[in-house]
Amino acid sequence: MKQALEKIELAAKEQLAKVADSAELEALRVRFLGKKGELTAILKGMAGLSAEERPVIGQLANKVRADIEEAVESRAAELKDAAIRLRLKEEKLDVTLPGKAPKLGRLHPMDTVMREIEDIFIGMGFDIVSGPEVEYDYYNFEALNIPRDHPARDTQDTFYISDNILLRTQTSSVQIHVMENRKPPIRIVSPGRVYRSDAVDATHSPIFHQIEGLVVDKGITMANLVGTLDMLMKRLYGDECKIRLRPHHFPFTEPSAEVDIVCFNCGGKGCPMCKGEGYVELLGAGMVHPKVLKQCGIDPEEYSGFAFGLGLERIVMGKYGINDLRLLYENDLRFLEQF
Ligand code: DAH
């Protein structure tokens, strides 16, 4: 029996050394130490031993069991170690390899210029406000002194949603919202999308962007308007930039003007870009019509104001020398990456 035990221990240690993974190891453990294992089988024969032999063999059997258990445990640790070492080797990371730079996006030129213009106005003490794109006829036309039968409606081909709800054709609608909700002094600009049912070509799009400006306070004059716009254009295009006002008509301003700047392409000599004019038209402006002030509950005897609305696309195109409006909307990276 003593020999049998020693044989088992030897055999177990021999086999353990050959085990390659934890499943094999477990099978081996069951084979030697399990309830139906070889060691148990031998111990069952202890009943036939003499009283002197029994404690000796018993002690030996316990030692063999402890030895095998220890051997199994240490083999398990070895296997675990080997597995980790293998993983480390296979998943080796070479930190000296050049990295993959993530592709960084950038601002669309429209956003760049929009933010630049907003910054300029914030610097002059204006608030930035926004207004709804789906609008009541009242805000887009009626309150701006453009009644139903006014010819000015014809030049702004409108997308109607219902009889009195439409997609705003101009950010001037925000003027009314602001004057309804704030008391003078008012100093705001409002950038946003506007909609007109125009066919797409190099200079037209059914969706484009305007920036509206409105100042209402005591003693506001045309000089404040000119000073503000002059500052805007000099900040945008450089100190040499000159503006020019031409008389015009808008129903919601009196007097009204169109504002041009000296052509950024030819500097005023006349070229194809300014159609030989030497100037490029940039925006509409004027003194807020007393009727509009009154409509919004502001006393025109006490307060006066100026307003302006400029087309963002035209400014972006002028600033970067872009000759086709469609390029701004196509989102072609080859185009956008140039800015
Ligand atoms: N809303 C006008 C347009 O879309 C532009 C405009 C003209 C806005 C004069 C103004 C203004 O605020 O005073 O053609």
Topology, domain 109-336? BirA Bifunctional Protein; domain 2 (3.30.930)
CB contact at 8 A, 135 and 166: yes
Residue 108 CA, ligand 1 centroid: distance in Å: 25
More confident residue, 116 or 198: 116
Residue 78 has pLDDT above 90, yes or no: no
Ligand 1: atom nearest CA of 171 is: 1
Q: Which residues contact 257 (CB under 8 A, 6 or more apart)?
A: 245, 246, 247, 248, 284, 285, 286
More confident residue, 153 or 238: 238
Residue 233 has pLDDT above 80, yes or no: yes
Residue 189 has pLDDT above 80, yes or no: yes
pLDDT at 103: 85
- Residue whose Cα lies nearest atom 13 of ligand 1: it is 285
Please write the tens of the pLDDT for every residue from 245-295.
999 999 999 999 999 998 877 888 988 878 899 998 889 999 999 999 999
Phi and psi, residue 206, nearest 5°: -65, -20
Ligand 1: atom nearest CA of 253 is: 13
Please write the tens of the pLDDT for every residue from 199-223.
888 888 999 999 999 999 999 999 9
Write down the mean pLDDT value for the chain.
91
CA dihedral 110, 116, 121, 122 (to 10 degrees): 120
pLDDT band at 37 (very low <50, low <70, confident <90, very high): confident
pLDDT band at 156 (very low <50, low <70, confident <90, very high): low
CA 157 to chain CA centroid, nearest Å: 32
Hey, which of 126, 139, 166, 250 would you mutate to test ligand 1's pocket, going by the most ligand atoms within 8 Å of its Cβ?
A: 250
Residue range 51-61: average pLDDT?
Answer: 84
CA distance 168 to 135: 6
Residue 154 has pLDDT above 80, yes or no: no
pLDDT at 328: 95
Ligand 1: atom nearest CA of 175 is: 12
Hey, which of 154, 169, 172, 173 would you mutate to test ligand 1's pocket, going by the most ligand atoms within 8 Å of its Cβ?
A: 172
Distances (CA, A) of 310 to 117, 191, 208, 284, 296: 11, 9, 11, 7, 23
In total, the chain counts a number of residues equal to 339
Q: What is the DSSP letter of 225?
A: H
More confident residue, 18 or 121: 121
Residue 26 has pLDDT above 80, yes or no: yes
pLDDT band at 79 (very low <50, low <70, confident <90, very high): confident
Report for 59-63, 102-106, 311-315: range of highest mean pLDDT: 311-315
The rounded radius of gyration (Å) of the Cα atoms in the chain is 43
Tell me what percent of the residues of the chain surpass a pLDDT of 70: 99
With a threshold of 0.75, does the pTM exceed it? no
Residue 257 CA, ligand 1 centroid: distance in Å: 9
Q: Break the chain into its structural domains and give their ranges.
A: 2-90, 109-336
Does the CB atom of residue 172 touch ligand 1 within 6 A?
A: yes
pLDDT at 306: 98
CA distance 169 to 299: 27
Please write the tens of the pLDDT for every residue from 103-150.
888 999 999 999 999 999 999 999 999 999 999 999 999 999 999 888
